[in-house]
Amino acid sequence: MKQKVKKNLTARIMFAMVAGIVAGILMIVLRENLISSGNGSIWNSINNLLFADISIEGNERAVGLFYIVGQIFVRALQLVIIPMVFTSIVLAMVRISDSKKLGRISTKTLGFFLLTTVCAIIMASIVGMIALSSGMFTNIQTGLEKGSGQSGANPLMLLVNAMPNNMASAFSNNGGVLAIVVTAVAVGLCINKLGDKVTVFTKLCQEISDIITVFLSFVVNTFGPIAIFCLLTRACASYGISYLRPAISYIGLTTLLLLTILFIGYPLFVKITTGENPIVFFKKISKVALFGFSTSSSAATLPLNMETTTNDLGVKEEIASFVLPLGMTVNMDGTAVMQVIAAIFIAGCSGYTMGPSTLLLIGLLAIVASIGTPAAPGAGAVILFTILSGVGFTNETALVAYSLILAINRPIEMLVTSLNIVGDAACAMAVAKSEDALDEKVYNSISDEETETISTKVPVYAATNLKRK
């Protein structure tokens, strides 16, 4: 029965995603036709009724039905981010009673995170420089007004901010998940040291975790597909051709690279580190990737990722509960790729010279900045300004090109999220395999006949018809 529910949810998510994209494309066509025919007021009425962001100034009388549905869903998921991350890591630390094993798992986890991020940045640097040398990123007319972003800051401040100076403020800020991770690790280590002296707090964490599981199951299963349809339709309808055309080279190149890593890079990583069939990995993790693409939030996708990684991929809970929340905070491969390509794109648009030293600095800043990027929609493009300030790309043309990234980066951010969360699951499998904590029977619980059928298809279509033996 549980497996049937999972299959049904996967099918509903895929249907909602396809329907949302189709509806969004139709809305783009309708928008362009109405505006070009001089009926922009009709589109404004449609936009105010369905898609308008009612939180911004000027939309006080708008309805924004799709915006409301999407925001309620995402906020319901964000509601439990802090307690879920805290209790997951604390319980994971408590379950690993062997301090040597705990240190070993931590080292391996951070090592795999760093390995995948560095490989992703190297690929992005090579592809970006080829595009720059070919003239793909030059002479692009934006035609857009300057956007607002975040002022530059020293990326090393994330090390300082990782240690909260106030417990209440740490637990009330979804953007400071790294501080919660550090706090949870410290609390978990202390409980490990005290042993049986601490039982009530451990039980409380377990009970909170159980409540969160029931709450999220209800939210995702009941409202997930409807909200995904609304989110995707609104995301497409919010961007006209005038926004997408100026930087089609950036969008196309970044999308191609992200898809390459998603479809080829991570399955290959799983094959090398675990020896398991990478097609099975992609088949089982695809519903998580689709959910992350729809919500554009690693934090909102964490509950589904944890369930899939433990119940479908066979990673023991003590590993998944430690690796995935940590990965949501520090393992941002997709974000790093986007930031490197975007920085090179802005350099080409604004006339800066890209030498090996500048490229190396961009790569290093991308690693640090991606670690400090909040697991929330749109955060990667905002934090991009930190990298631009670090390498000195701050002239007027660079700022206009940066505003273009802010304006059109939403579709890229959606794909970036999928890459981030799939990377977390792949690293969790690698750590579990090295610790003999990967249940291969669970991972391979799929018929030989179906595996053969899957291998002849494009991997993304393997997200349907999952069958247990």
Q: Residue 145 belongs to a domain with what CATH number?
A: 1.10.3860.10
Q: Quick check: 247 pLDDT over 80?
A: no
The answer, yes or no, to whether residue 156 has pLDDT greater than 70, is: no
CA distances from 197 to 188, 207, 428 (A): 13, 18, 31
DSSP 457: S
Domain contains 469: no
Better pLDDT: 446 or 326: 326
Structural domain containing residue 180? 2-463
Residues 6+ apart with CB under 8 A from 271: 277, 278
Is residue 307 included in any domain, yes or no? yes
3-state DSSP call for residue 424?
helix
Which of 29-43, 96-110, 118-132 is predicted least confidently? Answer: 96-110
* 233 found inside a domain: yes
- Asked whether 462 and 279 are in contact (CB, 8 A), the reply is yes
* pLDDT one-digit tens code per residue, 374-433: 555 556 666 677 678 778 787 777 777 777 777 677 778 888 989 999 999 999 999 999
The tens digit of pLDDT for each residue in 253-304 reads: 999 999 999 999 999 999 999 999 999 998 899 889 988 888 777 877 888 8
Across the range 141-149, mean pLDDT stands at 41
Q: Is the pTM of this model over 0.75?
A: no
- Record the tokens describing residue 237, joined without a space: 């309808």
Would you state the pLDDT for residue 452?
Answer: 42
Total number of domains constituting the chain? 1
Picking from 207, 218, 179, the residue whose alpha carbon sits closest to that of residue 79 is 218
Confidence band of 134 (pLDDT split at 50, 70, 90): confident
Amino acid at 283: K
- Is residue 92 assigned to a domain? yes
335 pLDDT exceeds 50? Answer: yes
**If DSSP states are collapsed to H, E and C, what string results for 149-214?**
CCCCCCCCHHHHHCCCCCHHHHCCCHHHHHHHHHHHHHHHHHHHHHHHHCCHHHHHHHHHHHHHHH
Cα distance between residue 350 and residue 134, in whole Å: 16
387 part of a folded domain: yes
In this predicted structure, what is the pLDDT of residue 464? 37
% residues pLDDT > 70 (the chain): 80
Q: How far apart are CA 334 and CA 423, in angstroms?
A: 9
CB 398 within 8 A of CB 342: no
Q: Which of 468, 463, 467, 427 lies closest to 10 in space, CA to CA?
A: 463
Is residue 149 in a domain? yes
Task: Dihedral sign for Cα 293, 297, 298, 299, please.
Answer: negative
pLDDT score, position 456: 40
Q: Is residue 468 part of a domain?
A: no
